[in-house]
Amino acid sequence: MRRSNTQSLAEALRSYIKEMRMERKLKEVDVVQSWEEALGKTIARYTRNIYLSKGILFVEVSSPVVKNELLMMREDIRKRLNDLAGEEMVTKIVFK
């Protein structure tokens, strides 16, 4: 006997993610993964250990010169990342 309540795999995954309240965490992962796209490969080479916690993006920078440049561009970077995410995910950026 066939079930009439069939849905696609994509729909099932979306409803599961929504039920488990994982949307916010998945968007946080997307923001971290879009770091290279937002800033380019050159800057991404000097950064590591990028993570987002409670709206604060933490970035470890290996070069003091690059860190200084990023500090001056902090607000622009935050806006770019939020634009890529489609909503306000990053409220502050901390460079270490």
Q: What is the pLDDT of residue 47?
A: 92
Question: Measured between alpha carbons, how far is 22 from 29 in angstroms, rounded to an integer?
Answer: 11
Q: What is the pLDDT of residue 30?
A: 83
Mean pLDDT, each 10-residue run in order, the chain (96 residues): 73 79 80 87 91 91 93 93 88 93
DSSP 3-state helix, strand, coil percentages of the chain (rounded to 5)? 55, 20, 25
Q: What is the pLDDT of residue 61?
A: 94
CATH class of 22-95: alpha beta
